Chains A and B, each alone.
Chain A
Amino acid sequence: MSENNRVNLFSTSLVRGLLAMVIGIPVGMGLVTVVRLLVGLPAWKAEPAWVVGAVFGVVAFMLGTGVMNDWLKWARGEETPEHPIANPNLKGLAKYLSVSFDHKVIGIQYGVTALILFTLAGAYALTFRTELLAPEIQFLQPKNFNTTMSLHGIVMIGAMLIGVGAMSNYLVPLMIGANDMAFPRLNAFAYWVNVPAAVLLTLVWFLGGFDTGWTGYPPLSAKAPLGMQMFFLGVYFIGFSSIFGSLNIIVTIVKMRAKGMSYFRMPIFVWTAFATALIGLTATQLIGLSFQMVMFERLFGMGFFEPSKGGDPILFQHLFWFYSHPAVYVFVLTGLGVISELLPVFVRKPLFGYRWVALSSFGIALVGFLVWAHHMFTSGMAAYLRVPFMYSTLLVAVPTGIKFFSWVATMWEGKMSFETPMLFVLGAISIFLLGGLSGPPNGVVSTDLHLQDTYWIVGHFHATMFGGFVFPFFAAIYYWFPKITGRMYNERLGKIHFYLMLPAFYVQSLGQMQVGLLGMRRRIADYDPALDINLSHQLITLAGFFIGISVLIAFYNFITSLRRGEVAVANPWRSRSPEWQIPSPVPAHNFDQPFEVVGEPYDYGLEGSAYVSFTPSRPSTEVPSGAEPAAAD
């Protein structure tokens, strides 16, 4: 390590935020205690103390990082610079551990956080998978199994939301020719709030864990240990991140596109980021609300979902799935955007049916709002709801199918090459297909009566999430690695990663589906040896470990290539997209001069066509792109 790489940790926002959090939590607890004393209640009660303490901790964290400084200045009527730069002097690692308003830095912060959480959640998975190697309890008691399993689920989901944030933050401004997001301060806020949220999710372990899975159904969640509250709060704050991040993306896309970039000339990834943001902006509120309602049940004895108080447990499920179904499309739409974005580059052909692919993302997003009750076919909700929700659920297959068929038509008679990003794209398509096709049997009520809450469902959603997020995310990392770092990753290691992960994943997912059909329920620490599924379980576990190993290889690849990789050529994939027409790594203000869109994004094979032009044509009265409004965020 060279001299200037050494980091003074205490000067980084991360450490200052964490220190503030450590102070904030006891302050919040103290406040509760004092108030209780004042109104004559017994001074100490763990639950309210921890909840208020956690909220104070998060606020303290945000204040400690300094991400809100400019807002506070505005409130006092002070002026702030037009182009905010949080810490101009920071270099290297310290820059990434501190508040930055540059969308590229924030994108990378999101991305690394996602990978860390992914590893953590993967380690949880390997832990409980080891327990499931054989029937009977080996080493993980049911209580800890439930906590491990539930945290695996929610941390993975957090990792995906954050990973989606990484891709859209880094790529959208570059692709539309903006110099930053519309609201850089809000952008930084949306990233940083994830950090204390992740801390709360880890605190779960010290407060008794929780045993409800990631879905947190009451009445069970109303009775679970205190860890439940930390889970609710953690998810709630990650939700904040989604909402504000989505808002930012939408405004950026609507208001800051380069000259000439009509909606139907945006890179296809931008379309998916837009559709994703629409879901994130609106539906996320409902998971927050449903979790808050359970929190209030626990804190104030309220009874929304408690039948003995006139409540109804089914209501929770409606509120919860109203978010959590659309959320599954949040996980995958950007991933599908990556697939559509990379395919034409590696096939050297235009994206087949651009408009259809673009609009299908909106089709999926909008229909996705009308299908939530397919998670509740056996829940005992009003019986007449089942058939209408079956119809709406299966309709999603249509726009998704458009994507698949268009991808195949893009590949057909193309001139494909198989660098690592392309391998991951191809893997993603085949796996997402498996996951998608395992959806209709769940969506048909009669067959779902058998499938609900079995490992078939587990197989279904791992395939959709690996195919729709994990594989495309790795494809994106490999593909834009030279853009981000200016260096090439190691192609050989990249291929090893792929060829380990793909078959291992098929074994894992197909194995899960198989045992599920045979009677393996979800969320059990021990299974009946009579089901005769030991061998399958062993294979699933083994496959999980192979996936883990392949991911470690990828990390090794990234870290070594970051320092010692070959210096990348300017446009290694010969892409037409604007971000590849500027130097790598991208300079601080992205585009020295605004570009103009003069053609279609994917006209590969059309001699002499261009997508963007950097030569200034006529002087323009229009405002330059990359404008960066402030205030209101």
Chain B
Amino acid sequence: MTTHTSTLVEYRRKVAANRLGLWLFILSDTFVFGGLYVSRFYLLGTQERPEVSQLLGFVVTAILLLSSFFMNRAETAMAHGDRKTFLRGTLTTLILGVIFLVGVVGVEWQIAPFGPGDGAAASIFYTMTGFHAFHVLTGVIFLAVVYNNGRKGLYSAERHWAVEACAVYWHFVDVVWIFFYPALYLIGLPVI
């Protein structure tokens, strides 16, 4: 995304700063998710959880994990200069991300037997999935940008910081879900 007139040395240095910046951002974001996570256990303990569709939860989780795999493939491909695989991987990740969003917001939210106002468990459920979905959405937008710019040929094996950033962010969002999924779907028994 930066101008190609800079030398590779300068580019690498900038990317080093960017990388630190990105990880700091992720550290910061972890505090939001951490706060939600703690709130969930503070309010519901380990005995309670919202009544949710186990099948759907399992499916969307699998989809998100799978998407991380493709994201990784795309990034590795770019690092080796394989543009085609990179583009395919990015697109697959993007589509899986959209499916995840539809699964959570479009289906789970609609079939849940409770609304956001039906007690603490419901509030926690909608807020945790909502915050996460918002991050997935921003990730999907990021992926779309990367895909689009990738098609224009803006990235090379040496210069593809945006791809790396997108991948790290996507994995982060994925890891968050790995924590959220058991907290919302597995631990405790349904109360509402």
In the complex, identify which listed stretch (B65-73, B101-109, B119-127, B172-180) lies at the interface while the others stay far away.
B119-127
Given known contacts A309-B123, A627-B13, A631-B161, A82 and B28 CB-to-CB distance under 8 angstroms? no
Q: Which of B117-145 contact A (CB under 8 A)?
A: 117-124, 126-127, 145
Q: Are A304 and B2 in contact, with the CB atoms below 8 A?
A: no
The docked-state distance in angstroms from the alpha carbon of A286 to that of B161 is 30
How many of chain A's residues have a CB under 8 angstroms from any CB in B? 50
| A310: B residues at CB distance < 8 A | 43, 119-121
Q: How far is the CB of B84 from chain A (nearest CB, A)?
A: 19
Q: Which of A58-81 contact B (CB under 8 A)?
A: 74-75, 77, 79-81
Query: For B5, B29, B43, B148, which residue has the most chain A Cβ atoms within 10 angstroms?
Result: B43
| A290: B residues at CB distance < 8 A | 35
Q: Which of B74-128 contact A (CB under 8 A)?
A: 115-124, 126-127
Q: How far is the CB of B65 from chain A (nearest CB, A)?
A: 25
| A284: B residues at CB distance < 8 A | 28
| B39: A residues at CB distance < 8 A | 293, 304, 315, 319
- Classify the interface of chain A: helix, strand, loop or mixed: helix
Binary interface encoding of chain A residues 300-331 relative to chain B, with 1 for a CB under 8 A from any of its CBs, else 0? 11111000011110010011001000000000
| B27: A residues at CB distance < 8 A | 281-282
Q: Is A243 an interface residue (CB 8 A)?
A: yes
Q: Are A303 and B120 in contact, with the CB atoms below 8 A?
A: yes
Given known contacts A77-B1, A311-B43, A631-B2, A285 and B21 CB-to-CB distance under 8 angstroms? no
| A318: B residues at CB distance < 8 A | 42
Given known contacts A77-B154, A296-B116, A309-B120, A286 and B31 CB-to-CB distance under 8 angstroms? yes
The docked-state distance in angstroms from the alpha carbon of A182 to that of B22 is 12
| B16: A residues at CB distance < 8 A | 255, 629
Query: For B10, B20, B149, B165, which residue has the most chain A Cβ atoms within 10 angstroms?
Result: B20
Q: Is B18 an interface residue (CB 8 A)?
A: yes
The docked-state distance in angstroms from the alpha carbon of A605 to that of B129 is 62
Q: Are A302 and B117 in contact, with the CB atoms below 8 A?
A: yes
Q: Are B126 and A300 in contact, with the CB atoms below 8 A?
A: yes
Q: Is B157 an interface residue (CB 8 A)?
A: no
Binary interface encoding of chain B residues 21-37 relative to chain A, with 1 for a CB under 8 A from any of its CBs, else 0? 11011011101100110
Given known contacts A303-B119, A311-B123, A631 and B1 CB-to-CB distance under 8 angstroms? yes
Q: Is B54 an interface residue (CB 8 A)?
A: no
Q: Which residue of chain A has its CB nearest to the CB of B116? A: A300
| A631: B residues at CB distance < 8 A | 1-2, 14-15, 18, 161-162, 165
- Classify the interface of chain B: helix, strand, loop or mixed: helix
B31: contacting residue among A75, A79, A285, A629, CB under 8 A: A285
The docked-state distance in angstroms from the alpha carbon of A297 to that of B116 is 9
Q: Is A630 an interface residue (CB 8 A)?
A: yes
A286: contacting residue among B10, B35, B121, CB under 8 A: B35
Q: Which residue of chain A has its CB nearest to the CB of B153? A: A77
Given known contacts A243-B28, A296-B116, A302-B123, A623 and B18 CB-to-CB distance under 8 angstroms? no
Q: Is B17 an interface residue (CB 8 A)?
A: yes
Q: How far is the CB of B76 from chain A (nearest CB, A)?
A: 20
Given known contacts A247-B25, A255-B20, A77 and B152 CB-to-CB distance under 8 angstroms? yes
The docked-state distance in angstroms from the alpha carbon of A135 to that of B52 is 57
B18: contacting residue among A256, A296, A629, CB under 8 A: A629
Q: Are B21 and A247 in contact, with the CB atoms below 8 A?
A: yes
Chain B: residues with CB nearer than 8 A to chain A? 1-6, 9-10, 13-22, 24-25, 27-29, 31-32, 35-36, 39, 42-43, 115-124, 126-127, 145, 148-149, 152, 154, 161-162, 165
29 A-B residue pairs with Cβ-Cβ distance under 8 Å, sorted by A, are A74-B1, A82-B2, A183-B21, A243-B28, A247-B28, A250-B20, A251-B17, A251-B20, A254-B20, A255-B13, A283-B31, A284-B28, A286-B31, A289-B32, A293-B127, A302-B117, A302-B122, A304-B39, A304-B123, A309-B119, A309-B120, A310-B43, A315-B39, A322-B35, A627-B10, A629-B13, A629-B15, A631-B2, A632-B161
User: Which 7 A-B pairs have CB atoms at the shortest separation, nearest pair first?
Assistant: A301-B117, A629-B14, A302-B123, A310-B120, A632-B18, A285-B31, A629-B17
New A-B contacts (12) at CB < 8 Å, excluding given A281-B24, A285-B32: A80-B3, A183-B21, A255-B13, A282-B27, A285-B28, A310-B43, A315-B39, A315-B42, A623-B13, A629-B13, A631-B165, A632-B161
Chain A: residues with CB nearer than 8 A to chain B? 74-75, 77, 79-82, 182-183, 243, 247-248, 250-251, 254-256, 281-286, 288-290, 293, 296-297, 300-304, 309-312, 315, 318-319, 322, 623, 627-633
